[in-house]
Amino acid sequence: MAIDFSITSTITPKGRTTYNAQRLNSNEDKFNIGSKTLYDGNFGLFNTSVTTGQVYNPEDYVAKYGFWAYFIYPTAMAESSGSFKCLNTYDRAQFTFSFMQYGAHVPNGDFVKFFRKLLQLPNASEYFPKLVLSNNRIFYKSNETLSPLENDSSSQALMDYLNPTLNDIENQELISAARFVHWATNDPNHRETQVATAIAMYKENMKAYHQRYGLDHAPANVCQMICDIRHQGRAKSDRIALALNTNGDYNKAFLNLCIIGDTNYQTRINTVRSTIKKLTDMGKFSLKYNATTGEFV
């Protein structure tokens, strides 16, 4: 049975419009979907709330993923303070979700891969009854007709399904957001899928970054900062390569990486750096990358 919601809005004392949802035919409480915002001429939602029990903690996943559970943590803190229900629908991605902020605008990108995995969960049809997977592609199903929402060259149809326009906040956008927030809040398998996607992504990224930068035996702090720079997109590859050109002095390389983008992104860099230090002080971040195995040892 499909999960449906009633949507209501309120105006805060500061004049901000916030949207709440309540599951129909249930005794569940209302929950916050997000707040309306205007960004670069676009209207959309954002949800940056951090709720106890809904935050990424590497200790919860280290038994399954080992060191990688710690490796993604600095980026998770920078992206969302670890919030599993982090949402924005106001920029060119049109729909971004998860503690690592997966954006829907990249064909075969992190969001698309994440959503494909979600649609394989047992309760997927309850949240998105009109979406199906076929040959590992996302389709919209109307009667018996399947319409593709993404392919190797575009995910625009999927973006438009989740958030029809950036001109206003539409009902479809609110329903899509409510489904994601509710699903993440109530289903540990949804949260596990967020984590599995992040770790798979960073594992593959590290293999590619080694090919570009030569990271065999590079310490975890250097590798993590590279991954965060590339994940956010705050520098091009040549700038990273220049920072690493230290004749093997990884302490200097790390400091060089920490100043990339500091004019505009100092707060984020501080978060990543302080989280790395916290993990290092705990004895959790002393490993080095082994390019042969693709693991940290």
Q: CA-CA distance, 184 to 230, in Å (whole number)?
A: 26
Q: What is the mean pLDDT of the segment spanning 30-42?
A: 97
Residue 231: pLDDT band (50, 70, 90) is very high
**Res 33: pLDDT:** 98
Which of 244, 177, 144 shows the shortest CA–CA distance to 34?
A: 177
In whole angstroms, what is the distance from residue 271 CA to residue 284 CA?
17
Is 32 a residue whose pLDDT tops 90? yes
Percent of the chain scoring above 90 in pLDDT? 98
Identify the pLDDT of residue 144: 87
Predicted pLDDT of residue 102: 98
For residue 193, pLDDT over 90 is answered with: yes
What's the token pair of residue 227?
Answer: 């991954």
C-alpha separations of 203 from 145, 224, 273, 291 in Å: 37, 11, 20, 11
Rg (CA), the chain: 20
55: left (phi over 0), alpha (psi -120 to 50) or beta: beta
**Tens of pLDDT along 66-121?**
999 999 999 999 999 999 999 999 999 999 999 999 999 999 999 999 999 999 99
* Residue range 179-194: mean pLDDT, rounded: 98
The predicted pLDDT at position 1 comes to 78
Q: Where are the domains of the chain?
A: 5-49+85-191, 203-296
pLDDT in tens, 262-286: 999 999 999 999 999 999 999 999 9
pLDDT tier for residue 132 given thresholds of 50, 70 and 90: very high
- Is residue 194 over pLDDT 90? yes
Q: What's the mean pLDDT when you consider all of the chain?
A: 97
pLDDT, residue 242, reads 98
Phi, psi of 152, rounded to the nearest 5 degrees: -65, -20
